[in-house]
Chain A
């Protein structure tokens, strides 16, 4: 009798242990994943970066911004590139965002103005943990680098259009676009590397 009773208790215990097992709901699973995901610094930085880029694109796509700021930047690029091309003896005339000569004409439209490349660089600079001094230095050098790079792109594309028009489309759509975004990333890595070298040198000098 007592043996039977013990067996029953055992069985009941077994039943209890199987029913008490914690069941993780999908909400908890998501919460855990999010906890693990956001515990990594790199992920937190990237989420901030996405937030800033979303903000940039929302402002950038605004018609008023396009018609004023973006258009003015394109005109400025055309003017500067035109001046340099004329110094090189190209004999071009600049009207608004169009650089034209009797051989070839080129227009600085969306994507050719380098604004998005600059935005990627600036947003990355803004979210990366560094003092204002380092950020301002990175901002100035990086902006100068990307602006000069874009002027080189416009001038080279004009020259390609004049001398090798058959490869203009490939150079415009497939090479320079990629090169520009890649060099933006390289510029960022150089800044991060410089930042940490200076930081470590500074902390060693202090100690």
Chain B
């Protein structure tokens, strides 16, 4: 690796970590964390508030003292469940009744903001023009947000299907449930999310990398590699 290339790589890594650490620290402050968690919760409720045929999804914040690792709780109920409980109460002559929702805790940082922070730092540290950085960042964030919504939707589908008897939402078939669970185990993994960010970076930023070094050409091949190899004319190291 020549000195120029080494310097570019080290500089990019330095820029990446500076941005990443600043964003990480910012997320720890209430000023940034509170609206971020709020945005996360409202996104889920807007998209999945009414899930499938009668499913109902609500997200509430968790107090720091309630849980160390999680900051929000997802509550699942359904119209079927409520109607069933009301009918049962009426039959028994009661005025009030209780329903048992399914709840699970989530960490907004681990499931979305870690990936977003990684994406922002990675895109901004890429040696290219500001125009390309902003364009890539906007498109990349949008695609990542879509992935986050898909991931959340899939988890909700699994949870509703796992409690199909209670909610009458999702799938009842065991084979389908196992298939949903199979994919869930993949997409819920934090490394999978990071890999999605890396792929977005490859697709959106690699073709626009701009470095004033001849040797970087092969990293962004637009013509067949064989042709490019012939162009490289570094002196032999022997």
- Are these two chains actual partners, yes or no? yes
Contact pick for B229, options A43, A58, A169, A199, CB 8 Å: A199
A161 to chain B, nearest CB (A): 14
Which of chain B's residues have a CB closer than 8 A to the CB of A173? Answer: 109-110, 114, 190
Bound together, the chains give a CA A193 to CA B223 distance in angstroms of: 18
Chain B proximity mask over A26-61: 1 for CB below 8 Å, otherwise 0: 000000000000001111001001100100011011
Which of chain B's residues have a CB closer than 8 A to the CB of A19? Answer: none
Bound together, the chains give a CA A43 to CA B186 distance in angstroms of: 24
B234 within 8 A of A: yes
Residues 159 to 179 of chain A near chain B (Cβ within 8 Å):
169-170, 173-174, 177-178
- Say which size band chain A's interface belongs to: 35 or more
Bound together, the chains give a CA A42 to CA B220 distance in angstroms of: 6
A111 contacts B189, CB within 8 Å?
A: yes
A205 contacts B114, CB within 8 Å?
A: no
The interface-forming segment of A88-96, A148-156, A180-188 is A180-188
B219 contacts A189, CB within 8 Å?
A: yes
B236 contacts A193, CB within 8 Å?
A: no
A203 within 8 A of B: yes
A129 contacts B118, CB within 8 Å?
A: no
A180 to chain B, nearest CB (A): 9
Given A42-B222, A174-B24, A53 and B194 contact (CB-CB distance below 8 Å): no
A202 to chain B, nearest CB (A): 8
How many residues of B are in contact with the other chain, CB < 8 A?
47
Contact pick for B195, options A116, A178, A200, CB 8 Å: A116
Bound together, the chains give a CA A189 to CA B211 distance in angstroms of: 14
Bound together, the chains give a CA A47 to CA B226 distance in angstroms of: 20
Bound together, the chains give a CA A117 to CA B16 distance in angstroms of: 19
Number of interchain pairs (Cβ within 8 Å): 103
B130 within 8 A of A: no
Chain B proximity mask over A106-127: 1 for CB below 8 Å, otherwise 0: 0000110000110010000000
Bound together, the chains give a CA A199 to CA B231 distance in angstroms of: 12
B190 contacts A205, CB within 8 Å?
A: no
Given A41-B224, A178-B20, A201-B238, A111 and B190 contact (CB-CB distance below 8 Å): yes
B48 within 8 A of A: no
A67 to chain B, nearest CB (A): 13
Closest to A110 in B: B189
A196 contacts B192, CB within 8 Å?
A: no
Given A173-B114, A182-B16, A40 and B207 contact (CB-CB distance below 8 Å): yes
Chain A proximity mask over B216-233: 1 for CB below 8 Å, otherwise 0: 001111111100011011
Which of chain B's residues have a CB closer than 8 A to the CB of A58? Answer: 186
A141 within 8 A of B: no
Contact pick for B192, options A41, A43, A57, CB 8 Å: A57
Q: Please, could you name 6 A-B residue pairs with CB atoms under 8 Å apart, sorted by A?
A: A42-B222, A43-B203, A61-B185, A116-B191, A173-B190, A174-B109
Which residues of B are in contact with A by a Cβ distance under 8 Å?
1, 5, 9, 13, 16, 20, 24, 68-69, 109-110, 114, 118, 182-183, 185-186, 189-192, 194-195, 198-199, 202-203, 206-207, 215, 218-225, 229-230, 232-238
Which residues of A are in contact with B by a Cβ distance under 8 Å?
40-43, 46, 49-50, 53, 57-58, 60-61, 110-111, 116-117, 120, 129, 169-170, 173-174, 177-178, 181-182, 185-186, 189-190, 192-194, 196-197, 199-201, 203-205
Given A174-B114, A196-B229, 11 more pairs with CB closer than 8 A: A46-B203, A50-B199, A60-B186, A61-B182, A173-B190, A190-B1, A192-B219, A194-B1, A196-B215, A196-B218, A197-B234
